[in-house]
Amino acid sequence: MAFCTGLKNPERFAAIISVAGYYDHGLNEYLEHTLNVPVYMMIGENDFQVESNRAAERTMKDKGMMVKLVIYEGIGHAFPPDGSEEIKKALKWIAAAR
């Protein structure tokens, strides 16, 4: 949902934070309009969507977007451990990227 909403509406959002999200490559058509929207992705290494996030990171970087992918060891499709701290890290990264 974060990818879809943020990429389709870049004028409404300062950044995108995706937690265990799925990246649909059909969203690639929106990347040209979201080059200034930083994207922070958090996903577990055992999540069934980890490869879609890796591919999204490559695609976004190739377009020149500000993107960071954090993969949590030993985690599946779940919020990362110490979620509050991880959100703080994401927000700090976004603030620096802007």
pLDDT at 35: 86
The string of pLDDT tens digits covering residues 34-63 is 889 999 999 999 999 999 999 999 999 999
DSSP 64-92: T--EEEEEETT--SSPPTTHHHHHHHHHH
Domain ranges of the chain: 2-97
Overall pTM surpassing 0.85 (yes/no): yes
What is the fold of 2-97? Rossmann fold (3.40.50)
Output phi, psi for 71, to 5 deg. -110, 125
Which one, of 30, 19, 33, lies nearest residue 79 by Cα? 19
The string of pLDDT tens digits covering residues 18-35 is 999 999 999 999 998 888
